[in-house]
């Protein structure tokens, strides 16, 4: 938690800023809006929203407030892993829905069970689960590394005790 003195100092310094003055500074500043455009072109597929990805990345940036490049790298990798996990959840839902539609009418839970079994038999769900586990490990590793880099200045909710 920042001290009141530090908060006041930051406000006073921010009030003095009038933005970039030199042509080089103005050029660099004009590129701020596309700071993660390259990441979006690599993580976002056609038909997915680049704006939603950029919003997600901005939320992570605001939450962790990276101060050095390696912190930003961890945030970008976390965001990309989370984005791809969400994509896998969508694929899994579509696969299940499509398979359920192929099932004979009857008990809804039975149709879901039979659909899951059919998808497991051809390894589609198994592959999705493996990909999701990999992305989850990437996300957790980046989060742990980021917190170590930041000296645990970001506090996460504590685990519930049993």
Write down the residue that tokens 């989850």 correspond to: 136
The CA distance from 44 to 53, in Å, is 7
Share above pLDDT 70 across residues of the chain, in percent, rounded to a whole number? 78
43 neighbors 53 (Cβ within 8 angstroms): yes
Residue 32 has pLDDT above 90, yes or no: no
Q: What is the mean pLDDT of the chain?
A: 83
The pLDDT, as a whole number, for residue 91 is 94
Write down the residue that tokens 């930051």 correspond to: 10
The pLDDT, as a whole number, for residue 29 is 54
The pLDDT, as a whole number, for residue 43 is 83
Share above pLDDT 90 across residues of the chain, in percent, rounded to a whole number? 53
Write down the residue that tokens 């996990």 correspond to: 85
55-69, 70-84, 140-154: which range is least confident on average? 140-154
The pLDDT, as a whole number, for residue 34 is 44
The pLDDT, as a whole number, for residue 74 is 94
Distance from first CA to last CA of the chain, Å, rounded?
29
115 neighbors 99 (Cβ within 8 angstroms): yes
Structure tokens at 36: 């993660």
Task: Report domain extents, the chain.
Answer: 35-149
The pLDDT, as a whole number, for residue 33 is 46
Structure tokens at 135: 């992305």
Report the pLDDT averaged over residues 62-79. 92
The CA distance from 57 to 103, in Å, is 40
Write down the residue that tokens 């398979």 correspond to: 99
109-161 pLDDT, tens digit each:
999 999 999 999 988 888 999 999 999 999 999 999 999 998 855 555 566 65
Q: Indicate the pLDDT class of residue 100, thresholds 50, 70 and 90.
A: very high
- CB neighbour list of residue 70: distance below 8 Å, 6 or more residues apart: 149
Q: What φ, ψ does residue 33 adopt, rounded to 5°?
A: -65, -20
Give the burial string for 138-148 (b: 16+ CB within 10 Å, else e): bbeebbebbbe
Q: What is the pTM of this model?
A: 0.67
């Amino acid at each position: 938690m920042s001290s009141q003195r530090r908060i006041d100092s930051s406000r006073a310094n921010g009030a003095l800023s009038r933005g970039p003055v030199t042509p080089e500074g103005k050029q660099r500043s004009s590129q701020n809006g596309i700071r993660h455009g390259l990441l979006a072109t690599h993580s976002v597929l056609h038909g997915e929203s680049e704006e939603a990805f950029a919003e997600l990345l901005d939320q992570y940036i605001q939450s962790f407030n990276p101060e050095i490049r390696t912190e930003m790298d961890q945030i970008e990798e976390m965001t990309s892993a989370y984005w791809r996990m969400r994509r896998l959840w969508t694929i899994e839902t579509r696969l299940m829905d499509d398979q359920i539609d192929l099932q004979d009418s009857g008990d809804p839970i039975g149709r879901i069970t039979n659909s899951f079994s059919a998808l497991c038999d051809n390894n589609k769900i198994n592959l999705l689960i493996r990909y999701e586990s990999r992305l989850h490990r990437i996300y957790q590793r980046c989060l742990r590394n980021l917190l170590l880099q930041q000296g645990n200045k970001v506090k996460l909710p504590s685990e519930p005790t049993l």
